[in-house]
Structure 1
């Protein structure tokens, strides 16, 4: 099952469109979810009864509009709707326990001007019990390319697992990108050619097992000089999907997301997958 969170915003409906296509590719059912305060879901009496009724009717409208969008995108889909009680972040994280993928828009109705990613999107990306897709700037038509950031870490391996499977599902080219640079007091200094060749060899060795399991996937490997955030943002321009692990080499104990995955929430130029499954100590 794939779950997509909606709030009545345009970005929420864009997320529904993406989720419907993904569900059709996976032959999985789609659940459209909308969260409201817990008391709204309960039968109330007195001064707030009418407010609760009005909010339930509004929630029903949001869910039906999203369901219609999903079926317009993929008429063959099985689409269910559900009203979640509580804070959207907490409710969607709990719902994600039963899902293979959780999809949200980059910003919703409550988005603050100037912020590139909303609090709900950030919250579920940091805490979800499954992989999370943040939908923004879907290429039209699809370009047939998936980009994955590779750093040799356990989180990077999980991202590769997802990226290879997704590329196979879509019949898309997979571009595996590794940012290569030496830290330097004045910034990032490119490595010497011999070291770069060694890094490319190690990258291909790192991919070998995945290639064996997905022989039909065409893979391009790239070693690119620069900071990982800038390298991945440039590599993903025009791509159908960018895949990153939730933690990389630089993870710190107690952090819920690595610095690169956090940055890509704000800077990814296409739909972004943050691979969460298998992350130790998920909240």
Structure 2
């Protein structure tokens, strides 16, 4: 059985190159192979006038050079890494989403044109994040320091195990600590007998209980907790100034439910100061 790979899309522009570098390090850390992909967004309706196929051959040659050079950069970062590269002809979002079905992780840059011609800046990463069938890392922001922790946004629901597992695993693999962020609206549990400071304590206790099984599973990961009355997105963006990765969950599944990113995921993707890992969360209940 083929081992799932870390798949990274690149268009030859700097954001795509940064995504390749990040993906190579991540694949090495996870001990997984790396697949570098360039999507050639070729307009066949126009190419019918290219009777000898010269334009397509030139575009294909440029695409192959782009992906080969990207794979070479990945090899420079992780010489022992198993790396393959390929050119896929099609629409970038459709092609990357299809590749995500057999991937352990899909990595894209936060911005870029190049092979993703005709799309607004950042639209590929947004759409891929909505529809991918595996976790998606959007590479953006600063370079991480060697001891920078991983941050995770912990929702109040009981279906956040996917996010918790991804966050703890990332911290464990990189040998760093973890910051668990819990945001709540004041008054959600407020009663006549509960003051706001007491509610803060209740929320922190809830977070501690939620983290307990994962702390036991990953005893080497040092955990800090942060409880905030600000929005989860604003808190995670602020925390991202000093973290290597922010992990968030997204309920967007399929074509219809994936039409809009969640109210936490979208602003974090737009404003975080480090890479963001978006993990699909299962929908439970009504």
- Of 214, 225, 230, the match for 1:226: 230
CA deviations on 1:103-138 (whole Å, 9 max, x unpaired) are 0000012699xx8x6111001100000000000124
Q: What CA distance in whole angstroms lies between the structure 1 residues aligned with 2:187 and 2:42?
A: 49
Residue 84 of structure 2 corresponds to 80
Which residue pairs with 2:163 in the alignment?
159
CA offset digits 1:187-219 (Å, max 9, x no partner): xxxx71001101100100011111111111111
User: Residue in 2 aligned with 1:141?
Assistant: 145
Return the alpha-carbon distance in structure 2 between the equivalents of residues 65 and 154 of structure 1: 44
Correspondent of 1:254 among 240, 252, 257:
257
Deviates more, 1:118-127 or 1:141-150: 141-150
The separation in 2 between residues aligned to 1:95 and 1:88, in whole angstroms, is 11
1:174–1:219 CA contact under 8 A, matched in 2: yes
Q: Given the superposition, is the C-alpha separation of residues 140 and 182 from structure 1 closer, same or farther in structure 2, using an over 3 Å criterion? A: closer
Residue correspondence of structure 1 range 264-283 to structure 2 within 5 A: 264-276=268-280, 279-280=282-283
1:192 maps to 2:165: no
Superposition TM-score, scaled by structure 2 size: 0.85
1:206 maps to which residue? Answer: 210
Query: What TM-score comes out, normalization by structure 1 length?
Result: 0.86
Pairs within 5 Å for 1:16-31: 16-31=20-35
Q: How far 1:30 sits from its partner (Å)?
A: 0.1
Deviations 1:113-171 (A, max 9, x none): xx8x6111001100000000000124243333000011122553211110011111111
Q: 1:17 and 1:222 mapped to 2: Cα distance?
A: 30
User: Runs of 4 or more off by more than 6 Å in structure 1?
Assistant: none
What secondary structure, in the 3-state scheme, does the structure 2 residue paired with 1:163 have? helix
User: 1:273 & 1:216 partners in 2: Cα distance?
Assistant: 21
Equivalent residue of 1:100, what SS? Answer: strand
CA drift of 1:226 comes to: 1.0
Residue-pair matches, total: 265
Distance 1:155 1:51, change over 3 A: farther
> Aligned-pair distance for 1:15?
0.3
Paired with 1:46 and 1:133, the residues of 2 have a C-alpha distance of 38
Show the counterpart of 2:246. Answer: 242
Which of these residues, 12, 29, 36, is aligned with residue 8 of structure 1? 12
Q: CA deviation at 1:180?
A: 2.8
Unpaired runs of 5+ in structure 1?
Answer: 185-190
- Equivalent residue for 1:187? none
